[in-house]
Each structure stands twice: as C-alpha cells, then as structure tokens.
Amino acid sequence: QKEVEQNSGPLSVPEGAIASLNCTYSDRVSQSFFWYRQYSGKSPELIMSIYSNGDKEDGRFTAQLNKASQYVSLLIRDSQPSDSATYLCAVNSRDSGTYKYIFGTGTRLKVLA
Amino acid sequence: DTEVTQTPKHLVMGMTNKKSLKCEQHMGHRAMYWYKQKAKKPPELMFVYSYEKLSINESVPSRFSPECPNSSLLNLHLHALQPEDSALYLCASSQADGVQPQHFGDGTRLSIL
C-alpha cells in the first residue's frame, strides 16, 4: 500500500515566523511531488512542484526534497494570517500505467496575528 | 480564476433524482480526474480518464457513472445517491505524462436529502 504521511496539526506559528511542514512517502519510484494549499470549503490550489533533490524557492515558499530519505518539506517564510489553511502533500504514483496522486492527510496551519 | 470549470457550484438532490456534474478544461490536458472530499479529509480519488478512456476506477459504487465525451469535457452522472454521498466533488486535469501537476476546479458542493 503506497502511503504519504503528514502530521495533521494544527501547527501554530506566530506572524512573521517560518512554518515548516513535512511529508514522508513510501513509493521509492515516485518522481513528482506537489504541495497544495486548501482553504476551508475551497478547492486545492497548487503552491509548489518539485522533482529533483534539493531546494526549490518561489517567493516566500521553499520546497525541499530528499529522495534517499523519502521526505519532502515546505517552508513558509514570514508567515501571514492569510497562510492559515490546510497544506496537502501529493506524490505522483503509477497505477496500471496511469499516474495518480497519493495524498497525505494534510497539515492544518494556523498563523497567529 | 481556475482554468478547470465545474458546474453547478452547488447541488441539492433527493435520493431518487438523477443529476450530472460537469467539468471542462481548455489546457490541452489529456488526463482528467474526479475526486470526492469530505470535511477535514484529503480528496479521495474516484476515477481517472487518460486520453478519453477510463483508466482507473477506485471501486466506486455504480450510482456514480463517469463519462468523458471528448478531451475537454468530463461528466459525472448521479443516480439514487445516499445521504453519505454528500460531499465536495472535485474535478482536476493534468498532462498524462505523470510529471506535471493536477489543476483543480472549484468543485461542486453536493447535498443529498
């Protein structure tokens, strides 16, 4: 059974701090990794994609991938109250020749003003 | 604004009704997905279409019937649903290469009376 694990939280950080969200996955052959942000009652919104080991930065967001440890993380710098949401980790996995996401359970982030 | 359009945004139906959810994308994506999402849970994959052919059915009850009339459209036909089918139904699309991310529509909030 292919799995993606996240701490469900809530993770509470003060405004302006760095929020660190973590995800581990079991499928060693996965090649594509994604972070989505989902506000309550809304649909998931793509934040970051990462495919290679190392760091990828986009504005206040940095995704980190370590395939040897099967670990992907998301750092949010200068956290804002508007960042309060559930963050979903998704790993692309092959099933009968078709690709599909394996989602983590999501981490709820609260940024305190 | 999302590039994946879902209609209707809200749907209330009785257990004996027949209705359809619609999804449209014009990004040239050849993979399309239906998800069901309950509150405080990650999206749960229902169906995957790849090049207009059903490639994954995650053991979904037959009261849900998907259809992909062409590469831009995806329908989900509903019949004799149960109250536990009340949820947010999400459509997504992506390239079929297993690398690019999925893009989600805004979803249809379905309530079964």
DSSP letter for A18, please.
P
Tokens of A28: 């060693």
Average of per-residue pLDDT values in chain A: 95
Beta carbons within 8 Å of B59's beta carbon, 6+ residues apart: none
Angle, vertex CA B62, rays to CA B56 and CA B68, nearest 5: 50
Residue B2: predicted pLDDT: 61
Residues 37-66 of chain A whose Cβ lies under 8 A from any Cβ of chain B: 41-46, 49, 51
Residues B5, A98: Cα–Cα separation, whole Å: 23
pLDDT digits (tens, 9 = 90+) for A19-47: 999 999 998 888 999 999 999 999 999 99
Q: DSSP secondary-structure letter at B102?
A: P
Q: Tell me: the pLDDT tens digits for B69-112?
A: 999 999 999 999 999 999 999 999 999 888 899 999 999 999 99
pLDDT digits (tens, 9 = 90+) for A47-82: 999 999 999 999 999 999 999 999 999 999 999 999
Cβ–Cβ contact A88 with B under 8 A = yes
Contacts of B42 in chain A (CB under 8 A): 88, 103-106
Which bin fits A54, alpha (ψ -120 to 50), beta or left (φ > 0)? left
Cα B102 off chain centre by? 13
Place of tokens 């996240």: A6
B82 touches chain A (CB under 8 A): no
Reference B35, options B91, B78, B74; nearest CA is B91
Q: Report residue A32: phi and psi, to 5°.
A: -130, 135
Which residues partner with B94 through β-bridges?
Answer: B31
Angle at B76 between CA B108 and CA A4, to 5 degrees: 70
